[in-house]
Amino acid sequence: MTQIYGYAYHSPLVLMNLVPLRDHVPLYLDPRWVASDLRKNVEPVLKKAGVKTPVVLAGSLGVLQSFVRAYPEAQVKVVLFEFPGLVNPFLDPSIEWIDCDHQSGGAWQITKTKLANFEAMIGILEMLDGKGRDLILRMERFIPKDRTSEIERFAEYMPANYKELLEYSEEKPQDVPFKEVAWKKKTLAELLVLFMGQVSKHKRQPLLSLVLDYQLGKVTKRDYNNKLKSFIDNANAKKVSNALRKWMDDDSLGRSLFNAYLDYLCNLKLRSWKTILADHEIGELDLLILIAQQHRDSVDLAMHYADECKSIRELPSNMNLPEPTARWTDNSLNYHPEPPALLHMFELA
């Protein structure tokens, strides 16, 4: 039976006024609340409810999960305000999606639910029990990736006026002067995005392969520098390429990242993902980029890195062997987060 009503693109504060007050009490959960806000605002309502049934109007899945954990025995009815396309699972006998009008494009809108209809619906809604709580706690919300750096890069190369816009060519990156890159303060991912922005699209795929092969120790410095010359066609590209090479050659940056990759290669089932990141002090995305380029299942990797792996295999393992905990888009569990799609990340198409 239905224990949760779901609404998409509606304001819980509007529906709060439709809750029948004869035998129910509206209990609004703001999606911005933390644990202290929850206690301060929820407990007075639960204490004063008496014989009336609290109707939880949860502004997000996250705050509803916090409520269920904090008050596992509360006798309540639940209305969740989320977008079903972003939660998994969104289909279950315990939840019924009432109005998922997409025409607003993500903005909150005034509900079209009539007062009489909403009162009747709340009246027949089942009280939240163990099955409903289990559904709420195992639901996951998919968060869009942070694209701040992409937006900033786009703004950095925006033409100053209409004339420059007409002259802009996709095949010839803008040669906008900028200062020397502060490479020690950047990640490999940030430098790669910056570098890809300085070369034509048809050069990006082979350029990325060359850079990552050098980072993975598959290309010597001499070969790398010789091959790199064919990709450099403006002053900015040369500045970024120099910064990128310095980053990869640096002991605390590029070499640490390479050692972390070897740790992943040799010890992933003995040392947890967090342990590998913490011990080598490297960024998660940087390591995932290397994995996306060359997964540990690739042939002959152990033989290729045999000498480098000798000391890495001696690193202490976790007291308890790690288990797969990262869920990928195909719903499978893995030892580490899903590697990014390099094709889209660096605009290689």
pTM exceeding 0.85: no
Helical packing angle, 284-293 and 254-267, nearest 10°: 60
What residues pair up with 88 in beta bridges, in sequence order? 140
pLDDT digits (tens, 9 = 90+) for 91-103: 899 999 887 654 4
> Is the confidence at residue 321, as pLDDT, over 70?
yes
pLDDT digits (tens, 9 = 90+) for 155-181: 665 666 655 555 544 444 444 455 566
Share of the chain above pLDDT 90, in %: 46
Three-point CA angle 104, 105, 107, nearest 5°: 65
Question: Of residues 39 and 78, which shows the higher confidence score?
Answer: 78
Residues 293-322 as b/e (b if ≥16 CB within 10 A, e otherwise) read bbeeeeeebeebbeeebeebeebeeeeeeb
Instruction: Tell me the mean pLDDT in the region 51-57.
Output: 94
